[in-house]
Amino acid sequence: MTRISNSSLSFPAALFACAAAPGAIVACGAVPPDAAVDTPASLRNRVEGIAVVATVATDYSVGALAAVDLETWATDDEIATVSSDPAVMADGGWLFVLNRYGFDTVRIYEPGVLEMPAAEFSAGDRANPQVALVCGGELFVTLHSRDYLPVYDLSSTWMVGSVDLSPFDDGDGSPEASTVVRIGEKLYVALEQFDQMNDWMPAGGRVIEVDCASRAVERVWEVGNAPTVHPYPDHDDRLIIRTGVFFDSNHGMAYDGAIRLFDITNGELSDTLVDEESLEANLGPVAATANGKAIFLSSDAAWRYTIHCLDLETGVSRSAETTDMYLASMTGNDRGEAWIAARPGPADPGAGGGIIVYDIDRCENRTSGAPVSLSMPPYSITFY
């Protein structure tokens, strides 16, 4: 199984003390309790053992790539510019940078060569690319504002086909394809199905199974409003599904979502593990381990974010900590860690930012002293 996953004013002055000249390698913010600070001299040239981070200025004017050593948390910062709405993901031996709404391009990098992309192509005006991953040797990219899933040849970057999603269009020209999990040669794609012509109100929510070889939709399931899909490592018969929109038609908090397991063999959802109504908060992304443990995020009406720990088999959960920082994204890795991109947010524009690292099985914040800081706050994170 492959995990793909899936924001404002100023750092506190203390964090600026960590800033270095562009391209410098520094050990900044938190340091793992069991790691020395020694780090190879060129993180950007590493092809394994690093996190690649898309960072974005607090005023959303510009973004940049950074590299973080997984063992020492040393950083190699401001490597190359990206857009102010980027998503990074590594898959199939490549690094992909998706410059999203209003930029609408896909960049392909060779790991270890982060200064310049090997290729870049347009996804189409206002297409809003969400996730890129490789299946059957070809590149599939979900687009939030198109009624198809394009397929590209990796060597030429030419579009060589597509998956027709028009049967799931909810009336605004797109079913809002977003997150994806790959299991074998199948893709499980979340269709959020917002009504963009009606204040982005929910118009359904489906998960579809796509066969990579035939580029056809083989099975479809209705799973609840605005779903996202998340991998359950080493459980190739199940996905984690989070549902729910932020606001209702009166612009109040909707609290309509939940986290459930989904059995792809029989199409059945589990009983609710966590629900928004009980939390009085909107649910965010989920990162899990093969041991049945997970971290998930939530945000309340005051835009305060909470990190929760969850047992996926029993449904028992607990709140680990709450912060005024905006938790923009979270990505799990094969070390059993969840890396959380924390930024200044509306609850406290001066709250700071950085990368929060959790041991998922232990429900333990490894960066409890201070987040791993970068020149600009993190926005999206991936690993290789």
Threshold 0.75, pTM exceeds: yes
For residue 337, give the nearest of 291, 298, 287, 374 by alpha carbon. Answer: 287
**358, 341 Cβ separation under 8 angstroms:** no
- Give 292-347 as a 3 state SS string: CEEEEEEECCCCCEEEEEEECCCCCEEEEEEECCEEEEEEECCCCEEEEEEECECC
Query: Averaging pLDDT over each range in 169-173, 200-204, 302-306, which range is the top one?
Result: 302-306
Identify the CATH number of the domain defined by range 13-383.
2.130.10.10
Question: The tokens of 14 are what?
Answer: 């203390």
- The tens digit of pLDDT for each residue in 107-122 reads 999 999 999 999 999 9
> What's the chain's average pLDDT?
89
Q: Is residue 194 very low, low, confident or very high in pLDDT (cuts 50, 70, 90)?
A: confident
- The tens digit of pLDDT for each residue in 278-305 reads 999 999 999 999 999 999 999 999 999 9
Report how far residue 299's alpha carbon sits from residue 184's, in angstroms, rounded to the nearest whole number. Answer: 34
- Does 377 have pLDDT greater than 80? yes
Report how far residue 369's alpha carbon sits from residue 378's, in angstroms, rounded to the nearest whole number. Answer: 18
pLDDT on residue 30: 62
Report how far residue 318's alpha carbon sits from residue 239's, in angstroms, rounded to the nearest whole number. Answer: 21
Alpha-carbon distances, residue 267 vs 4, 175, 207, 264 (angstroms): 21, 20, 10, 5
What burial letters (b/e) apply to 30-56, b meaning 16+ CB within 10 Å? bbbeeeeeebeeebbebeeebbbbbbb
- The tens digit of pLDDT for each residue in 129-168 reads 999 999 999 999 999 999 999 999 999 999 999 999 999 9
Query: Averaging pLDDT over each range in 39-53, 68-82, 195-209, which range is the top one?
Result: 68-82
Report how far residue 279's alpha carbon sits from residue 302's, in angstroms, rounded to the nearest whole number. Answer: 14
Residue type, 298: S
Residue type, 357: V
For the chain, the domains span: 13-383
Please return the burial class of 207, using the count of CB atoms within 10 Å of its CB with bins 0-12, 13-18 and 19+. buried
For residue 67, give the nearest of 92, 95, 91, 93 by alpha carbon. Answer: 95
